Structure 1
Amino acid sequence: MAIAALSIFSNSPSSSSSSSTTTFHPYPSNPSHSLQPTTFSPPLQTQPSFSLLTKSHPPNNYFSRFRFRPSIHSFFRCRSSSNAPNVDVQFGTLISLFQEIGISFEETKLLLLKSNELTSIQLDSLRDRVLSLHSLGLDRVSINHFVTNRLTVLTTNEIDPLLSFLRNELHGQLAQAKLKRLLLSNEPKNLSSFPQKVRLLVDRGMPVDKIVGVLNKVNLSKAICNRSINEIERIIDFLEPFGGVNLIVKHPAILNHCLDSKLIPRISVLTKLSGGDEDGIRIVLNRFPFILNYTVEHVEEHLQFLRSFADLDDEQIFKIVLVFPAIFTNNIERKLRPRIQFLKECGLDSEDIFKFLIQAPLFLSASFRDNLAYKFVFLVKIGYKYRTKGLAMAIAASTRISCENMQKVLSLFLNYGFSFEDIFAMSMKQPLILRYNHASVETKMKYLIEEMNRDIRELLDFPAFLGYKFDDRIKHRYEIEKGLKGGQISLNQLLTVSSENFTDKQKKDSSVKSELK
């Protein structure tokens, strides 16, 4: 190329070039499509009357302020055509272009010494590439970083398809951190096929409006750039029975995993455990995709512990995994062993332990200091005996509520005149009363007393009253029954009958009432 024979100030081609040049079109050269320097933050324009980022003629003697040492001047000539009359102008233009993105003269000199390709590119193209990068939202500091750390971002043609794709098809929505890492961490040859690989995801069923969200949540080097088209297709094909592209949309990080070394062996463990239940595995992966972060050895260690210490079979274990796949996050010695040991001490056999863990899997992961310890105190205080099945069942019923809610429910019963013995008796009949929302319990107790004119102690006989829906069941049925018989019916009879039988009974009672009139 003859960089000294080229001018970015004229749209007409130079006629003095005597060797080949590199020309790319990362961004339209038409000034109408160029972003003005005032859009940069901080501003790129360092000269009040002239900017290298727009096509215009420089003021007279603009470059006379440059004082190049003979060695650098000769260096630039030797990389330009041998008879270049505009060496000073072209070198000054390059210096000024880089200065506008914060690169000093000394840094530019080092770049020229290290990077031969910099002198084989038209200055118009360099400027257009800077504008192209800026159009994707990159500021001066970021572009400066690219030039000084990965100059190929500015000089190679191979990233043109990528920049065009990011701008025109993804509309510049790729997160800035992702964009910077993408350009800095990958070789140009791996970036050129990026658009094709992303389009493959769309072709395989990924909604267009979900693409950017997926790309912003994956490691682009692992998931896209360093993989071939064939590898990406194999991953989608393998995941197809478990949700395929839809699974990837919900949990994009799955794409980060290597198919042969991670996805296949780790999902194979679940396949063997479930007896080939693909629907079950799909549920597990959707509820807890992080299970794929654990090695085969880690998962097998947990499975073997549950088989040997809890005496559970694979079918039971997989059912537990279905409701609580996060079981694999719990340390065996610090959490699983002592808690299953506690259940054994309460008199639970393997079948009881299985039912307990299906009902209250959070027992395995809840904090003892901040959660379980307080609940043990509450339960023992109202009358539960330590190391009994009753205590274990009460703990199971209370695992899904906070200690604060449990304390408020107990306080509510005490405020309405119930003793600890009364609360214990009610919880033995209806263990779930300890996990009901305290505000809901209070609403139903007030309605029982103030609207239904009942004695609050009727709850001792029928504590399940507190578990029925207030508007749809309690209030609705009471108002109907009140209109027919004055509402004088036991709580049990009012609420336990099925909706169908209640409707039939309502029609019958209404007919009898009409005949009596």
Structure 2
Amino acid sequence: MILRMQLLLPQPLSPHYSSSSTTGLNPISTPKPLISRKALNSHHTPTTTTVDSGLKFREKILYLESLKVNPTKVLQKNPNLRSAPLSSLQSVEHCLSSMGIEQSALGRILDMFPQLLTADPSNQIYPVFEFLLNDVEIPYSDIRKCIIRCPRLLVSGVESQLKPALEFLIKLGFVGANRITCQTTVLLVSNVDHTLTPKIDFLMGLGFEYNEVAKMVIRSPALLTFSIENNFMPKLEYFLEEMNGDLEELKRFPQYFSFNLEGKIKKRHRILVEHGLSLPLSKMLTVSDGEFNARLIEMQLELVEERQL
């Protein structure tokens, strides 16, 4: 018998054929990179934009330091400064310098009120200058003095704060020879309802008439800047209880409230009491220590002479 052997030729694979299903081996695949070359390069090489931003920020820091402004402090108080262009800061400096404010004073002002560094001069700063020049009628040469004495003027709204305060003070009697000057513009930053009116009411509560109070504050404008709790009340208490004072004397000398209670009022009053002497408030407080001591010796000699007669 002749056996016929047939060679089995390899058959084409089925479309559903999988080598893994027949051999149990996993197919070999090309691994994908975890980080692309582009991303890798960008991670190690700073972009031009990043470098430029860093340089611009450094320029702002150096600029602030040149003005004697503490960069760390102002950045904490005004975060918007980080994104503000250098030209914006320079425009604020130019605005303030145009009104005669020297760079030495400029640094102190900007350090106190960092919000000015990102202010819009046209809408926020120049209107204050216009108000002082036109409404308050401060001479141009005195604008610098106003700002240096009270930088808060620059961050006070004209319509919301400055104008209402000016109207209140004019009604009180700050007109003509007693009008607001560069020495009293500090009163303009006081809120009418929360600061000025309560102080007028306090003084009237002592028994003074409105006209009497008006004369007192015009004679001594600083009265409107003092704290009721920390200034008026303790000094009034000492005047009435320890000095046995008369309110009429406060009408004549309202400046009493401007003197230091511990350092001058109590000290000089006790010296007079120890020697059995007394002086009007004005003579007791307005003279220097040397003049006070000289007056004290003179009064002691006069007292001795009287006793010898």
Common fold, TM-score beyond 0.5?
A: yes
Q: Secondary structure at the match of 1:454?
A: coil
Shift of the alpha carbon at 1:391?
A: 6.5
Quote the residue 1:85 is aligned against: none
Could you say which structure has the greater relative contact order, defined with CA pairs below 8 angstroms and 6 or more residues apart?
2
**Which residue in 2 is equivalent to 1:342?**
131
Q: Distance in 2 between matches of 1:114 and 1:469?
A: 83
**Any unmatched runs of 5+ in structure 1?**
1-68, 80-112, 118-149, 151-185, 191-220, 228-256, 272-280
In 1, the alpha carbon distance for the partners of 2:119 and 2:254 equals 36
How do residues 301-380 of structure 1 correspond to structure 2 at under 5 angstroms?
A: 301-308=91-98, 310=99, 312=100, 316-325=102-111, 326=114, 327-345=116-134, 346-368=136-158, 370-380=160-170
Instruction: Please state how far the C-alpha of 1:477 moved relative to its aligned partner.
Output: 1.9
CA contact (8 A) 1:379 1:394 kept: no
Does the 8 Å CA contact 1:347/1:389 hold for their aligned counterparts?
no
Once the two structures are superposed, what CA deviation does each residue of 1:315-335 show, in whole Å capped at 9, x if it has no partner?
625414423443333322322
User: Would you say the 8 A contact 1:375–1:395 is kept in 2?
Assistant: no
Question: Displacement, 1:342?
Answer: 1.4
Q: Residues 414, 392 of structure 1: CA spacing in aligned structure 2 closer, same or farther, 3 A cutoff? A: farther
Instruction: Say whether the 8 Å CA contact 1:448–1:456 is kept in structure 2.
Output: no
Kept after mapping to 1: 8 A contact 2:92/2:119: no
> Is 2:172 aligned against 1:382?
yes
Change over 3 Å in CA distance of 1:510–1:392 after alignment to 2: closer
One-letter code of the match for 2:132?
L
SS at match of 1:493: helix
Residue by residue over 1:65-95, the C-alpha shift from the partner in whole angstroms, topping out at 9 and shown as x without a partner, is xxxx98xx966x969xxxxxxxxxxxxxxxx
Shift of the 501–479 alpha-carbon distance from structure 1 to 2, 3 Å rule, reads same
Deviation at 1:491, TM superposition (A): 0.9
Q: Name the CA distance, whole Å, in 1 between partners of 2:25 and 2:209.
A: 99
Shift of the 415–482 alpha-carbon distance from structure 1 to 2, 3 Å rule, reads same
CA distance in 1, matches of 2:68, 2:96: 22
CA distance in 1, matches of 2:263, 2:236: 16
The answer to whether the Cα contact below 8 Å between 1:269 and 1:296 also exists between their aligned partners in 2 is: no
1:408 aligns with 2:195: no
Report deviation, 1:355.
0.3
Report if aligned partners of 1:330, 1:364 keep a CA contact under 8 Å in 2. no
Counterparts in 2 of 1:92-241, with a 5 A limit?
Answer: none
Deviation for aligned residue 1:427: 2.8
Partners of 1:263 and 1:292 within 8 A in 2: no
Please report how far the alpha carbon of residue 379 of structure 1 lies from its aligned counterpart in structure 2 after TM superposition.
1.5
1:426 to 188, 200, 216: 216
Structure 1 residues 444, 464: CA separation in 2 closer, same or farther (over 3 Å shift)?
A: same
Q: Which residue type is aligned with residue 378 of structure 1? A: F
Q: Among 181, 186, 205, which residue is 1:396 paired with? A: 186
Q: Would you say 1:458 and 2:253 are equivalent positions?
A: no
Is the contact made by 2:146 and 2:185 (CA closer than 8 Å) also made in structure 1?
Answer: no
Q: Which has the larger radius of gyration?
A: 2
Aligned residues: 266
Conservation of the 8 A alpha-carbon contact between 1:348 and 1:389: no
Q: CA deviation at 1:510?
A: 6.6
Q: How many Å apart are 1:368 and its aligned residue?
A: 4.4
User: Which residue number in structure 2 is paired with residue 295 of structure 1?
Assistant: 85
Residue 459 of structure 1 deviates from its aligned partner by 2.6
The 1:283–1:502 alpha-carbon spacing in structure 2 relative to 1, beyond 3 Å, is: farther
CA offset at residue 468 of structure 1? 1.5
Q: Summarize the Cα distance change of 1:338–1:115 in structure 2 as closer, same or farther, 3 Å threshold.
A: same
RMSD: 4.1
Q: TM-score, normalised by structure 2?
A: 0.67
The equivalent residue for 2:268 is 477
* TM-score, normalising length: structure 1: 0.43
